Structure 1
Amino acid sequence: MTTTATSGAAGSRLTLKPVVTIFEAYGSGAKDIGPKVADALGLPYHPQAFSSEELEAQEEQREKDGIVTRVMEAMGTFSGHDALDVVFDQQDRSQLVADNNRVVFASAEEGGVITGRNGALILADHPAALHVRLDGPAEKRIERAARDAGISIDRAKKRQRREDQIRADMSIQLYGWDPRLVDHYDLVLNTATLSDDVCVEIIVSALKAKTEPSSGASDPAGR
C-alpha cells in the first residue's frame, strides 16, 4: 500500500508508504502484534531499540556500579561528576537523539511498523502514519509477559516496574515528552480485553480510515 499526500508550497504530490508506530506498556504484546500488523500490510517490522532483557541487564550492572561508587566515595577516592562530565552528558544526549531520529526517519521511508523509539512524537506530522499505544491492567500485562518470556511472575513484576519507568524516563530526558500520556496517539488499545488478532484488525482498519481518501482506495494490506 502507498499513500499519496500533498506537501510543500507548490503542492507537490508525494507517494508515501504507510507507517504504524507502536508504544507499549510492558507486557502489552507489541512483539506479537507489531509483526502481525506488518505482515498484514506487507511491509517491514522495525523492533524497538532495547529489549526487556537488555534493560534488565543494564539495571543489574548499574546496581553493581552503584555499590562500587559508594565504596569509593566512602574511601575518599571518588569525587563524582565535574563540569566536563556534564558537558559530555549533554553531547551524548544530543547524539543519541540525532542517531535515533535518523533510524526512525529511515524506517518511515521503508514504511511498516516502528515499535518504540519515540516514533509517535518524531513522526507526529507524517501524513501516512498511525500512532498506537498498547496498554492494559498491570496485573494482566505481568501475567502475559511472564508467560511469553518463560519467567516467574515475581521477575516479570520487577521488569514491569523497571521497564515502564525507564522507557518513560528516556523519552522525558531525551525528547521532553511523556509517552504514557495519550496526546500523540490516534489509537489506544487494551490488549488484556482484545485478542492479538482483533488488535491487528483494528489497527489496519484505523490506518486505512486515517490515510486513505474516503472515495475508496485500496486495502492497507494491498488486497
Structure 2
Amino acid sequence: MRVVTISATYGTAGSVIGPAVAERLGVPFVDRAIPSAVAEELGCTLEEALAHDDRAEHGLGRLLSGTMRLPTVTFGGVDMYVPGAMPLAPEEFVRRTEKLLKESARNQGGVFLGRGGALVLADVPGALHVRLDAPVRRRVLQTAAYSEISERQARKVIDDNDRARTAYVRHFYRADPADPSHYHLVIDSTTIPAPVCVDLITSAAEALN
C-alpha cells in the first residue's frame, strides 16, 4: 500500500494536489476525515475538534497567541475549555489523531495532508514525504487569485495559518515543519504547475514501492 504525506504551507494548493495524487495512486485522501473521526471517538463536535486542528484558521493559532481564553485546560500558557461531556486535552486530541493516521496508513494506505504526517509516519516503510512551499509573495498572489480576495486579506490568512501550523508541529513534535530533512521532495507549487506536481509526487511514490 502506498503512503504519501504532504506538508503544505497555505497558498501552495495542497488541497488540490493531495486529492489528485490520491486518485492517481488509487488510495484514500485523508484530510478533514481525521478530525471528524477523532471528534466522533471523543464525543465532541467537529467544530470543537477543529479548534485543535493544525489547519483551523482561528484554532491553534488563536489559542497560542492568547486571543481566546476559556477556562479548564491549560495549553501553551492559554486556558482552554472544550464543551461537552468531557474536557478534551490537546495532547489527547493529537494522540487520537496520530492513532488514526497510523491505522489508516497500515490498513489502506493513503495521501495524508498536514497533521505532522511526515513525523507521525516517518517509520512507515516505503512512505513518501513531500513538502509544498514557496516564498510568501508568490503564495499571497496565488491565494488572492484563487480565493478572489485582496492581497492584504490573503497575506493575513497566510500569516495566521503559517503561525498555527508551525506552532502545532513545534509544540507537539519539537520540530520545524520547514526543515527539508523531514521530506524526500520539496516542491514550489506556485511556480511548478499543479498537474506537474502531481506527476512528480506520483512518480516518486511509485518508485518507492
Shift of 1:145: 1.4
Q: 1:117 to 1:59 in 2, by over 3 A?
A: closer
Correspondence list, 1:83-94, <5 A: 92-94=89-91
Distance 1:136 1:64 in 2: 28
Q: Which residue of 8, 17, 21 maps to 1:33?
A: 17
The CA deviation string for residues 3-36 of structure 1, in whole angstroms up to 9 with x for no partner, is xxxxxxxxxxxxxx10110001110110110111
Correspondence list, 1:51-62, <5 A: 54-56=56-58
Does residue 112 in structure 1 map to residue 110 in structure 2?
yes
Shift of 1:199: 0.4
Match of 1:197 in 2: 195
Q: 1:122 to 1:58 in 2, by over 3 A?
A: closer
Shift of 1:142: 1.1
Match of 1:176 in 2: 174
Does residue 100 in structure 1 map to residue 97 in structure 2?
yes
Shift of 1:57: 7.0
Q: Whose Rg is larger?
A: 1
Match of 1:6 in 2: none
SS of equivalent residue, structure 1 residue 55: coil
The CA RMSD over aligned residues, in Å, is: 3.0
Match of 2:6 in 1: 22
- Amino acid in structure 1 at the alignment position of 2:14: A
* Contact kept? 1:133, 1:185, Cα under 8 Å: yes
Identity within the alignment, %: 34
Match of 1:218 in 2: none
SS of equivalent residue, structure 2 residue 198: helix
Match of 2:28 in 1: 44
Greater Cα shift, 141-150 or 126-135? 141-150
Shift of 1:43: 1.3
Distance 2:196 2:3 in 1: 19
- Amino acid in structure 2 at the alignment position of 1:19: V
Correspondence list, 1:58-73, <5 A: 65=68
Which stretches in structure 1 are left out of the alignment for 5+ residues? 1-16, 70-80, 212-223
- Amino acid in structure 2 at the alignment position of 1:119: G
TM-score, structure 1 length as denominator? 0.70
Q: 1:201 to 1:53 in 2, by over 3 A?
A: closer
* Contact kept? 1:35, 1:45, Cα under 8 Å: yes
Distance 1:176 1:197 in 2: 33
Shift of 1:96: 2.4
Q: 1:157 to 1:64 in 2, by over 3 A?
A: same
SS of equivalent residue, structure 1 residue 202: helix
